[in-house]
Structures are given as C-alpha cells and as structure tokens.
Amino acid sequence: MKRILTLYVLILLSSQGILAQTKVSGKILDQKKQPLPGVNVFIKDTYDGASTDANGNFSFTAADTGDVIIVCSFIGFEQIEKKVKLTSSDFTFNTSMKESLNELKVVTISAGTIEASDERKTTVLKPLDIVTTAGAQGDIVGALKTLPGAQQIGESEGLFVRGGDGSETKTIIDGMMVNKPFFSSAPDIASRGRFSPFLFKGTIFSTGGYSAQYGQGMSSVLALETQDLPGQTSSTLAISSVGIGGGYNKLWKEKNASAGFDLNYANLLPYFKLVKQTPEYTRAPQFSGGSVNFRKKTSPSGMLKFYGYFNLSDLGIKTASIDSTNGFKNLFELNNSDVYTNLTYKERLGEKWMMNIGASYSTNVDNIKTWTDSIRSQSDMTQGRLVFTRGIGKLSIIRFGGEYQYTFDEVKVDGAKYGYNYHVKNSIYDNYSAQFIEADIYLTPKLVWRAGARGEHTTIEKEYVISPRTSVAYKLGDKSQISFAYGQFYQKPDREYLFYTKIPGYNKATHYIANIQRVDDLHTLRAEVYYKKYDNLTNLIDSTNSGFGYAQGLDIFWRDKKTIDGVDYWISYTYIETKRKYQTYPKEVTPPFAATHTASLVFKKFFEKLNLSSGFTYTYASGRPYYNPNNPDFMSDRTIDYHSLGINGAYLRQVKNCFAVLAFSVTNVIGNDQIFGYRYSYDLQRSAAVTPPAKRFFFVGLFLSFGQNRSKEVIENNN
Amino acid sequence: MKKLLSALVLLSVTLFATAQDKKKYIATMEKNVAALDTTRDGKQLQNLANTFERIASAEKAEWLPSYYAAYCYVNMTYSTKGDEIDTYCDRADKFIKVADSISPNNSEIYTLRAQIASARISVNPMTRGQKYGMESGEWREKAKELDKTNPRPYYLEGTAYYFTPAMFGGGKDKAKPVFQKALEMYETFKPASTIAPNWGKNSCNYFIKECDKK
C-alpha cells in the first residue's frame, strides 16, 4: 500500500514536471556566424523553450529528460530538428541556421532578358507598365521600344534589336510561334501588334542569348504568356476616337473554367477627317475582328487554354510618285484577313515531371492592288509542340522537347505593265522540326549554370544544325547579380527571297553577353554589354549566304519608383556599333535600322486626389544611315536625329461595380520633324523623305468594365 | 483489491494530469493572449509568436495556439516593408492552415485568412489590389456566413474600404458605416472563452474617429 502511495505521489509530481529539470542554453547563429535574435528554441511537443535574445543567446528549463528533439524555428530560415539526450545536468546547444530559399535569394538568369510579370518579384517591369507607358498607345511593342536594346523604327513594324532587323525577332505566345504578329501595313507606315497587352500575364523580351526552347530569331524573342482564369465574370465596353469594342468573359461558378469573347471595329475615317494625313487615303483603315477564349483548370495542376483570333482589315492609300513630275500618284490598296488559334495544355505528371503540349494554326491573306498589279499573298502555319520538364533537387530542372511547324507561303501576281499581261505564282512549303534539351543547374542557390542545345531542320534547306546555348548567373548580394550568356541562333532566309531563288543555308548569329543588375523593390539598375557576330547572311548579289556582319554595344536601364513621391520613371540608353554586308550591299556598312545612340525617358505620375494617372515618354535617337544613290560612298548619309515626346493620361473612376477609365494620348506633342529615311526617283533627280503619315496621333477613349463579383453585391446590399 | 486500487490510482493520476494540463494550457494562453492586446512592437510580437508556436507544438488538438501564432505574424507585417511582407504572410499562412485542419469551418480562422490576404496587397497595391482584394473579400464573406455574430469580418471590411482609394470603390465615406456596424456587433459579441479571439474593437473605434476627420 505504501509503495502504491509513493508511486502515486511520484507520478503526480512528475506529471507536474518538478522531478527532473535540465537547464538548456546556447547560442544560435546564421550562416555568416552572426547572432540570430528571435529564434524559437524549444523541446518538441512541450511548452519548454525560449526565444533568443539580441545576441542570439537563449536559456530555458526543460522538464523532460532522456531522448528529446530540440527544435529551432525562425521566419525565413530552415527549421532545425535535432535529437539530443538530456540528463539532469546542464545542457548546451549551439547551432547555426540556414536561410530558407525563396525567390529573392535564388539567382535567375538575367543576361539578355527583360521580364514583365506580376508573379515573379525580380522583374524590371509589371504587365501594367506596358499599358501605361506614354507614346506606346497600348501596343506591346511600343512599350518595349522604350527599353534598352530596341531601335526607334517608325517606317515598319517589328522590334529591331541590337543590329538585327524586324524579321530577327520572333513572337511566341504560350510557347507557340506567331507567324504574323503585326497588322499588315502599307509601305513606309508601321502597323501595330495584333494582340492586346491585357491578354498576357507575363512578357519576356529577350535581347539575346535566349533559351534553347526557342529558335528562328537571330536577334530576339518576345515570349508572351496568356492570362489564367479571370478573377470574376465581367463585361467590357470601349468607345474611342477610332472605334468601338466590347466583350464578355464568364467565370464558372465552380471557378474552374471560363469562356469569353470580344468584338471590335475600328475605322479611322472620322479621325482622318479631323486630322490631316500626308498620304491620300482612298479607303481609310478599317479593322473588324474579335477573339474567343476558353480556359479550364482540369485538375489542381492542369490547365487547358484555347485562344482564337480573327481580323479583317482594309485600307487604300495614294502617295505622290517620286518618279513623276506631273503629280502622278501611286496606288496601294490592301485587304487582309487573319486567323490565329492556339491550344495549350499543361499538367503535372507525378511529383517531379511537368508536361506542356500545344497546337496552333494560323492563316493570313493579303490582297494588294496597285495600278498595275493585283497580288494575293497567303501565309499559313500549323504547329505542334511538346515539352517535358523535370525538377532535380530543390532548384535545378531539366527541360526537353520538340516542335514541328508546317508553313505554306504563296504569292500570286496578276499584272499588266508596258502593254503585256503577266501571271506569276510562287509557292513554298516547309517542314520545320526542332528538338531541344536544356538544364538549369543550381550549383548553389547563388550560382546557376544553364546549358542547352537546339537542333533544327527545315525541308527547304535540308540541313540539320545544332545550336549550343549556355549561360551562367551569380548572385553577388541580396539584390545584385552578374550573368553571362553565349548562344548560336539560326534562322531560315526570309520567305521573300525563297520565292525567287534557292539560297543555301541558314542565317546565323552568335551572341556573347555580360550583364550586371541590381533590383530592389523601388530601384532597378541594369547594364549589359554584348558582341554579336552574323554569319551566312543572305547575299542577293550572287544568291549565296556569304553575307556577314557584327553588332556590339552597351545597354543601360535605370528605374526609380522612390525618389520623387508618386513618381515612377525609367531611363534607358542604347549604344550600338554595327555593320553588315547582306542583301544587295556592295560592302560592309551600318544598316539603316541602327542608330548609334538611343535614349528614352519614361515618366509616370499618379495624382491620387484627382484620380488621374499621367505620364510622358521622351525618346531620342541619333540619325540613322540611309542609301543615297547619288553618293558614291554607300550608305554613308545620315538622317536628322529623332525626337519624340508622347504624353498620356487616364482618369479612373469606380461607380458601383463599373470601373471606368477615360484615357487620352498624343504622340510627338512638340511636333518634331521625324525622318526615317529617303526614297530616290528612278533617275536619281529627286528624293523624298520617309515620314510618319501625320505629325501627331491623338487618341481619346472610354473603357468600361463591369465586374460581377457576388461578394461586391453583397456588400452593396448590406449597406 | 490491490489491482483495483492501482487501477483507481492510475485513473485518478491520469485525470488529475489531464486536468492539470488543461489548467496549464488555459493559464498559459490567458497570459499570452492578454499580452497581445498591449503588444505592437515587432520584437515582442516575435517572442509571443514563438510562445504560441511552442504551445501549439505541445497542444496538438487545440486550434487557438496556431491561430494566435498566425495572428502575431500578420500583425508583424504592419511594421515591415516590401517583399518581407510576403515572408511574414507565408509564415502566418503556415500556422493558419494548421489551425484550419484542427478546426475546419471556423469563422475566426477565415477572418484571419482574409486579413493575411489584405496584408499581401501592401507589397504592391497597384498590381496586387485586385487579386488579393478579391481573395480577402471571399474569405471575409465566408467568415460572415460561418458565424453571423462575429464582428471581425465586418471590421476588416471597413479597413478594406478605408485603405482602398475612392476611385477604386473605397474611401472613408464607404468605410464608416461598415465600421459602425462592426462596432454594434462588438457590443453584443460574447467570446466563447477567456482565450477565444476578441480583438478589433479598439481599432474599430479608432478608425471611426479617423473616418470623421476630413
């Protein structure tokens, strides 16, 4: 009985933890051996523990003895759990904790890449920046032209990057190439991109050294990633000085699928009546089109997306013929129809694997009429793509896959000139296939090495080429990093040449890039130097690929969201030295699409009290070369410098569930003369400057978006 | 007899121990929950969060320790800036998920989720306002649904209006009636126990005064 009682007392006592006690103390450090204050050090599954003080020291009394687990837990650090044996004597526990990895502590490859994304933090731009950049007029390419590396080209569409022409930049949507990313245009008048910036949640603008996932762009790729499911069901309505548009996007109640459409119509006739244009428009530009989309979350990690786009456009233009002295005008009438479709599916396969599948079909037909000719030009592309990605360890990945593109190009010309009729028809088919493999190997979280290669084959060239690509990035500190990139990039010759002659071999560029950048919440500083070598460029003089060239330069970007209250501005500067011998060039010269110096200042200010967001963009480019046939020194003339000041403003207002934006913009406010080059008459007696069709472009628009968020309604009704 | 006695002893020991543990749990919680009311300093909040984490480690069937740990971390975001806010929110999320797994469909837990989502907006209101504003709104509505007497989701709704610029549908004028409604509810709200969530009333009063300032 006594024994039981003793036991009873003993158990009671022990249950209150008076029996055995151990003093546990020690010091917790970080990886740099600096003391860590605030760390929670405790015995697992008990109350016993303490937080470290300012010197990283802790001390507490543990009730248990024997085998226990000591836990060290602290925000931003990897938790430590360690088995120890406590006896009744004092116990010392010292350790150092490792910072846990998050996006900000892990290096990413930045050489040649400028990214706009909401999801990633270390990007230099946000998708919203593209819409709010003055002078860009809501055009993706317009906004990207304010970034270093891109040229200010006004006479034709496209991104001219680091000494490359517009055809050297390829546009990719969700991994699939877009054959005709821009509206068809009249000669010497640049057109806009077809796709609205609101479609995309992420934009990667590569100015070189890009991933082996992509190909056929010797200078650059513009990789766009479409939005996922919308946050709510909504409808939109837009009325502007150039047209009207509207759309509806429905989010299913279960929030796992959405479907939508939009329609728009634009006609520049009323605008051209108000604002005089230099060329005479026989038919003002008209655009009618729309898009449909469907997105479905097929599982927690699976996503199916479909996007379909169609557009019809029409314009007619008469321009004074330079060869005529009696006021004769050339005619150019263009009727275009374009369809683009994109279907993608991605899903996780088990723990480590990810699969991306895509298919796309597009067709584009231009019907062009001049006084003498009627031209029909068709360009179709069908493609498929499959990519597998596998995670290795915490950070590293390996990615491989392939793509296939079938293209059909045809040009038919029916004409009558100098008294006889002619009919020409040229078609080319091409089967392009590519395979790639690429690994991002994290040697440490601060050091990543990307190694990859891409193999490409076209039936038109019947040659298989392999282009190696590699880059390294190293994080110098929390905010700064350096990176280097090298890569070879092949591109098949332009279809215009392929119609008429068989030009052997791909064009080729080799990039060497070094980059240093520092990004924090409020500032970005980026500097990049590069050397780019061109080989096997198309030489039309002897129909070979014996052309060559190089480009080298410096790109600087500075963005500051802090110094001036409510102001966000960026400055970019581009210096380039480039020469090439290609097409019909008799010698190696700087091509007309490269200005030695280009600089942009983009300024955005938000006036909170006025509900007004406003900004301006000032762009400068030094004069560009142009061909003057009267000057024996080929391509040695320079245009005047280019200046452009664009302003924009948006007044924002929310009334109940309607969100309204009243936006305006004006390009070239000051009215600087902008000359993109010169055209010479056949007899070389006369020349005419290539200029924009009007000095300025004015835009006013009202955008309404009606959200149908049920919780909002609830709030309104409750009040 | 002896067997029976020892069984009784054991049973009483267990019961006593459980009762003792429960007492210890309540006492520890009371002390630390009370400390929360007066603590806004980051370092002290960190120490409190650590204490709640330890209690959570010992009391695996209780949702409140994890809930309060999350509460500490979300409050710490108000003294941090930029990307660090996300780190604290992630930490708060981790604890609130543990609380939710112990006590699913709990109005207070959904309220705190709403607060975490709101805190994430401040990293970059321009780009995050819409996404996290909506997420926060959803959690808030769910919290209202689960307990119609809980004033805290209304209080949070008031702050959401208060910090949203008028042009995006917010503003003091819209916030004030919501705060007033929350305050009425605070007057009648009875917390389930001495350690159950009962915060927000003072702040609600503060915001009502701020709303009146022009």
Domain assignment present for A473: yes
Task: Give the CATH number for residue A23.
Answer: 2.60.40.10
Smallest Cβ distance to B169: which of A50, A121, A654?
Answer: A654
Q: Per-residue confidence at A17, pLDDT binned at 50, 70, 90?
A: very low
Q: Per-residue confidence at A715, pLDDT binned at 50, 70, 90?
A: very low
Exposed, middle or buried, A489 (CB in 10 Å: 0-12/13-18/19+)?
buried
ipTM of the complex: 0.88
DSSP line for A487-506 = EEEEEPPPHHHHHHS---S-
Asked if residue A344 and residue A252 are part of one domain, the reply reads: yes
A/B interface, count of CB pairs below 8 Å: 110
Is residue A48 less than 8 Å (CB to CB) from chain B? Answer: yes
Distance (Å, whole) CA B197 – CA B156: 14
Task: Give the CATH number for residue A619.
Answer: 2.40.170.20
Q: What is the mean pLDDT of chain A?
A: 90
Using the beta-carbon criterion (under 8 Å), do A76 and B87 form an inter-chain contact?
yes
Asked if residue A65 and residue A25 are part of one domain, the reply reads: yes
Asked if residue A186 and residue A89 are part of one domain, the reply reads: no
Query: Is A159 in a helix, a strand, or coil?
Result: coil
Residue A21 has pLDDT above 90, yes or no: no
Is residue B87 less than 8 Å (CB to CB) from chain A? Answer: yes
Asked if residue A367 and residue A267 are part of one domain, the reply reads: yes
Q: Among A62, A96, A130, identify where a domain stops.
A: A96
Task: Identify which of A509, A505, A514 has the alpha carbon closest to the alpha carbon of residue A580.
Answer: A509
pLDDT for position A3: 63
Per-residue buried b or exposed e for A72-82, using 16+ beta carbons within 10 Å of the residue's own CB: bbbbbbeebee
Distance (Å, whole) CA B46 – CA B29: 16
Residue A6 has pLDDT above 70, yes or no: no
Worst-scoring range by mean pLDDT, A584-593, A674-683, B16-25? Answer: B16-25
Residue A527 has pLDDT above 90, yes or no: yes
Q: Residue A7: its chain B contacts at CB < 8 A?
A: 9
Is residue A60 less than 8 Å (CB to CB) from chain B? Answer: no
Q: Which of residues 394-433 of A touch B (CB under 8 A)?
A: none
Is residue A227 less than 8 Å (CB to CB) from chain B? Answer: no
Distance (Å, whole) CA A621 – CA B124: 33
Question: Which residue in B has a C-alpha nearest to residue A40's C-alpha?
Answer: B50
Domain assignment present for A650: yes
Asked if residue A487 and residue A377 are part of one domain, the reply reads: yes
Provide φ and ψ at B40, rounded to 5°.
-125, -10
Mutant choice from B167, B168, B173, B184 vs A, greatest count of A C-beta within 10 A: B167
Q: What is the mean pLDDT of residues A163-190?
A: 94
Question: Which residue in A has a C-alpha nearest to residue B11's C-alpha?
Answer: A8
* pTM for the structure as a whole: 0.83
Q: Residue B43: its chain A contacts at CB < 8 A?
A: 37-38
Worst-scoring range by mean pLDDT, A87-96, A710-719, B184-193? Answer: A710-719
Q: Among A40, A65, A96, identify where a domain stops.
A: A96
Is residue A8 less than 8 Å (CB to CB) from chain B? Answer: yes
Q: Which of residues 661-700 of A touch B (CB under 8 A)?
A: none
Is residue A231 less than 8 Å (CB to CB) from chain B? Answer: yes
- State how far residue B99 is from chain A, nearest Cα, in angstroms: 16
pLDDT for position B49: 95
Using the beta-carbon criterion (under 8 Å), do A128 and B126 form an inter-chain contact?
yes
Residue A12 has pLDDT above 70, yes or no: no
Q: Per-residue confidence at A716, pLDDT binned at 50, 70, 90?
A: very low
pLDDT for position A712: 40
Q: Which of residues 115-154 of A touch B (CB under 8 A)?
A: 118, 121, 126-128
CA A292 to chain centre: 22
Asked if residue A173 and residue A67 are part of one domain, the reply reads: no
Q: Residue A121: its chain B contacts at CB < 8 A?
A: 83
Query: Of A589-598, A607-616, A655-664, B78-87, where does the model show the most confidence?
Result: A589-598
Query: Of A107-111, A233-237, A313-317, B199-203, where does the model show the most confidence?
Result: A313-317
Would you say B56 and B98 are in contact if contact means Cβ atoms under 8 Å apart?
yes
If one counts every other C-beta atom within 10 angstroms of the C-beta of residue A566, the result is 11
CA A193 to chain centre: 13
- A341-354 pLDDT, tens digit per residue, is 999 999 999 889 99
Using the beta-carbon criterion (under 8 Å), do A47 and B131 form an inter-chain contact?
no
Asked if residue A185 and residue A72 are part of one domain, the reply reads: no
Provide φ and ψ at B200, rounded to 5°.
110, -20
Asked if residue A140 and residue A42 are part of one domain, the reply reads: no
Distance (Å, whole) CA B210 – CA A609: 18
Distance (Å, whole) CA A52 – CA A38: 5
Domain assignment present for A365: yes
Residue A75 has pLDDT above 50, yes or no: yes
Task: Identify which of A511, A509, A545 has the alpha carbon closest to the alpha carbon of residue A529.
Answer: A511
Q: Residue A38: its chain B contacts at CB < 8 A?
A: 43, 46-47, 50
pLDDT for position A717: 35
Strand pairing class (A22-29; A95-96) = parallel
Smallest Cβ distance to A49: which of B54, B130, B174?
Answer: B54
Would you say A97 and A29 are in contact if contact means Cβ atoms under 8 Å apart?
yes
Task: Identify which of A453, A451, A452, A454 has the alpha carbon closest to the alpha carbon of residue A434.
Answer: A454
Q: Residue A47: its chain B contacts at CB < 8 A?
A: 24, 28, 54-55, 58
Q: What is the mean pLDDT of residues A673-688?
A: 92
Asked if residue A117 and residue A234 are part of one domain, the reply reads: yes
Tell me how far CA of residue A634 lies from CA of A71, A583, A637, A670, in angstroms: 76, 14, 8, 33
Q: Per-residue confidence at A1, pLDDT binned at 50, 70, 90?
A: low
Task: Identify which of A539, A625, A649 has the alpha carbon closest to the alpha carbon of residue A576.
Answer: A625
Query: What DSSP state is assigned to residue A84?
Result: E
Using the beta-carbon criterion (under 8 Å), do A8 and B53 form an inter-chain contact?
no
Smallest Cβ distance to A711: which of B58, B141, B177?
Answer: B141
Q: Residue B16: its chain A contacts at CB < 8 A?
A: 12, 15
Would you say A398 and A389 are in contact if contact means Cβ atoms under 8 Å apart?
yes
Q: What is the mean pLDDT of residues B105-116?
A: 95
Asked if residue A202 and residue A280 are part of one domain, the reply reads: yes
- State how far residue B81 is from chain A, nearest Cα, in angstroms: 9
Using the beta-carbon criterion (under 8 Å), do B127 and A126 form an inter-chain contact?
yes
Rounded percentage of chain B residues whose pLDDT exceeds 70: 92
One-letter amino acid for residue A488 of the chain: Q
Domain assignment present for A271: yes
How many domains, in total, are found in chain A? 2
Domain assignment present for A580: no
Domain assignment present for A140: yes
Domain assignment present for A578: no
Residue B132 has pLDDT above 70, yes or no: yes
Using the beta-carbon criterion (under 8 Å), do A521 and B82 form an inter-chain contact?
yes
Using the beta-carbon criterion (under 8 Å), do A48 and B54 form an inter-chain contact?
yes
Residue A714 has pLDDT above 60, yes or no: no
- A533-577 pLDDT, tens digit per residue, is 999 999 888 888 899 999 999 999 999 988 887 888 999 999 999
Asked if residue A134 and residue A47 are part of one domain, the reply reads: no
pLDDT for position B39: 75
Asked if residue A143 and residue A72 are part of one domain, the reply reads: no
Domain assignment present for A569: no
Using the beta-carbon criterion (under 8 Å), do A15 and B16 form an inter-chain contact?
yes
Using the beta-carbon criterion (under 8 Å), do A51 and B137 form an inter-chain contact?
no
Hey, what long-range contacts does A390-395 have (CB within 8 A, 24 or more apart)?
A390/A352, A390/A353, A390/A354, A391/A352, A391/A353, A391/A354, A392/A352, A392/A439, A392/A441, A393/A442, A394/A101, A394/A442, A395/A101, A395/A106, A395/A440, A395/A442, A395/A445, A395/A448
Find all residues with CB under 8 Å of A710, minimum gap 6, and list them. none
Q: Per-residue confidence at B91, pLDDT binned at 50, 70, 90?
A: very high
- State how far residue B46 is from chain A, nearest Cα, in angstroms: 6
Q: Among A96, A129, A158, identify where a domain stops.
A: A96
Would you say A590 and A635 are in contact if contact means Cβ atoms under 8 Å apart?
yes
Range of the domain at A655: 113-535+586-596+610-718
